Amino acid sequence: MLTIILIIVFILLILNPSISSITILEASSIWFNKLVPILFPSLIIIDLLNNDKRLEALSLYLFPLFKRIFKIRYPKSSFIIILSIICGAPGSYKLIANSLDNNEIDITEANSLSMAFSGFSLAYTIFILNSFNISIIFYYIIFILLAIFIMKYNNRGIIVSEYKKSIKRPILKELLDSINKNTNILISILGIIIIFKLLIVLTNVNEVLYLFIEPLGGHNKFSSFIMKKKLKDGFITSSLSFLGLSIHLQIYYIYDKLNYKKFLFFRFISSCIYFLFFFIK
């Protein structure tokens, strides 16, 4: 699928060099001015927080409650849930990948969390919902209910695992390694953004498809699109839940052990549920 997309982009790039150059500059400007100032510090902070012993204690404290609600199997999962809701994708997947590498969770738990708590940051989600005058409370009620179902479905029949204490590294070493790794991540994300931006501009996709391919730009364009209120609410909430193919690829780059077929299935089902609820409501 990705190979086909790249071939299409390459052909369109050759046929439309002037439009392509403008689009690449626009995508680079968005990446540098909007994404880097937010995502780069977030990725570094996530690395440092993951190395903090006090947060390890917080995870242990919250574990009994979160185990009852979400059927998590590791104490670290409770902290991952909180940070996933606050920071959102793709940054939250750095924490999932780090926790898996540090043996604080296993691959089953990592994939369950990645499917159940996929979403944009709390700040961005609230901003978009407010912009379109959509109920924040109803949106997050559905989010939590879907997360509970996905976690219990994926972890069914598996007993709670024993606590695994991770090895903490000196903070300076962690900081320097984090800067190096996250710089590479941001450069790769820039490439992903450019590819999808070119695909959207050169193929002239409509506003609805734009939402589900590259939602960050899609939400901005969709705000001026004339459509019935219920239908518009359905598409906006659905796109927030689906995340967009561009974000999917960014997630997969950060967390390459993701079971993408299953992840895509749950994103699709969740987006359909949101659309139906806000369209009928």
Q: Is the pLDDT of residue 12 over 70?
A: no
Q: Is the pLDDT of residue 129 over 80?
A: yes
- For the chain, the maximum distance between any two Cα atoms, rounded to a whole number of angstroms, is 59
CA distances in angstroms from 165 to 112, 113, 137, 188, 241, listed in the order given: 21, 19, 36, 32, 33
pLDDT band at 171 (very low <50, low <70, confident <90, very high): low
pLDDT of residue 238: 96
CA distances in angstroms from 242 to 1, 93, 182, 258, listed in the order given: 18, 16, 25, 16
pLDDT of residue 275: 95
Token pair of 176 as six digits: 């320097």
What is the arithmetic mean of pLDDT over 19-30? 79
CA distance 226 to 281: 20
In the block, tokens 């150059």 appear at 21
- Report whether 12 contacts 198 (CB < 8 A): yes
Q: Is the pLDDT of residue 13 over 80?
A: no
Name, in order, each residue with C-beta under 8 angstroms of 121's C-beta and a sequence gap of 6 or more: 86, 87, 88, 91
Nearest to 113, CA basis, from 279, 266, 269, 278 = 266
Q: Is the pLDDT of residue 43 over 70?
A: yes
Q: Give 224's DSSP letter.
A: T
Domain ranges of the chain: 2-280
Residue 61 or 181, more confident: 61
What would the pLDDT profile of 44-53 be if each residue is shown by its tens digit? 877 777 666 6
Residue 117 or 103, more confident: 117
What is the arithmetic mean of pLDDT over 183-211? 82
pLDDT band at 3 (very low <50, low <70, confident <90, very high): low
What is the arithmetic mean of pLDDT over 82-105? 87
pLDDT of residue 199: 78
Token pair of 279 as six digits: 């369209």
Token pair of 66 as six digits: 């979160």
pTM: 0.83
Indicate the burial class of 133 (C-beta count within 10 angstroms; 0-12, 13-18, 19 or more).
exposed
pLDDT band at 168 (very low <50, low <70, confident <90, very high): low
Q: Is the pLDDT of residue 204 over 70?
A: yes
Q: Is the pLDDT of residue 96 over 80?
A: yes
Residue 112 or 55, more confident: 112
First to last CA, the chain: 36
